[in-house]
């Protein structure tokens, strides 16, 4: 079993990676919505609607929806929250590198203190951040394969939108891929074996 110092470094790294991804997502979304509000609200949009034969009412409705979403959900604030948490975890990583002789309980306590400020986690993104931390800390391919979590494609695509609180991500080494089972079933069928 890994020592508490390694566990604290690993958790701090995983959380820093997670909050970097969330910050980047919200920053990108914030910029996109700002861009759309400006472009759709400009007088040019009225001229473009005539060019593409779009009713101006739809453009006005789009401006209303995008601007309301921007003001209501405040993605810029959410990005700053994740930026703050990312910075705190990187500071903890730096402290861990400087003073590795301290008790592991102290580091776990600091991790819990930072985690108290976190919003609800997106579990699929957290599992992907865990995999990135595994890739950064384990150098042997066998160790990586035994420690990485399997995240379904649909979870990867919707990682920033659905929390998936009840889902249990299993290690990649334990996951049974359907095509492996199908290959075994087909090969047994061709060889005359019954399962």
Tokens at residue 178, please?
């359907």
Distances (CA, A) of 170 to 11, 14, 86: 18, 17, 26
pLDDT at 194 over 60: no
Residues 15 and 101 in one domain: yes
Residues 111 and 125 in one domain: no
Mean pLDDT, residues 164-191: 76
For residue 190, the model assigns a pLDDT of: 63
Residues 109 and 127 in one domain: no
Residues 17 and 99 in one domain: yes
Number of folded domains in the chain? 2
pLDDT at 10 over 60: yes
3-class state of residue 149 by DSSP: strand
Mean pLDDT, residues 69-77: 89
For residue 126, the model assigns a pLDDT of: 96
Residues 112 and 124 in one domain: no
DSSP state, 102?
A: S
6: containing domain:
1-116
Comparing 38 with 129, the larger pLDDT belongs to: 129
Give the Cα separation of 180 and 184 in Å (integer).
6
CB 155 within 8 A of CB 145: no
Residues 84 and 129 in one domain: no
Q: Which of 96, 121, 148, 147 is nearest to 19 (CA)?
A: 121
For residue 108, the model assigns a pLDDT of: 83
Residues 45 and 141 in one domain: no
- Rounded mean pLDDT of the chain? 85
Q: What is the pLDDT of residues 93-123, one digit of tens each?
A: 998 888 766 677 788 888 889 998 899 999 9
């Amino acid at each position: 079993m890994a020592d508490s110092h390694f566990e604290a470094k690993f958790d701090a790294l995983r959380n820093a990676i997670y909050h970097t991804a969330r910050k980047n997502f919200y920053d990108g979304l914030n910029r996109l919505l700002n861009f759309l509000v400006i472009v759709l609200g400009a007088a040019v949009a009225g001229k473009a609607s005539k060019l593409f034969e779009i009713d101006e009412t739809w453009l006005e409705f789009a401006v209303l929806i995008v601007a309301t979403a921007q003001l209501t959900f405040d993605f810029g604030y959410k990005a700053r929250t994740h930026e703050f948490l990312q910075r705190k975890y990187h500071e903890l990583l730096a402290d861990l590198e400087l003073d590795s002789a301290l008790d592991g309980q102290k580091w776990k306590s600091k991790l819990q203190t930072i985690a108290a400020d976190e919003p609800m986690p997106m579990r699929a993104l957290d599992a992907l951040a865990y995999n990135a931390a595994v890739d950064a800390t384990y150098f042997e391919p066998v160790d990586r394969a035994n420690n990485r979590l399997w995240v379904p494609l649909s979870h990867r695509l919707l990682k920033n939108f659905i929390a998936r609180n009840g889902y249990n991500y299993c290690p990649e080494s334990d996951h049974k891929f359907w095509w492996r089972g199908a290959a075994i079933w087909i090969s047994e069928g061709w060889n005359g074996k019954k399962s």
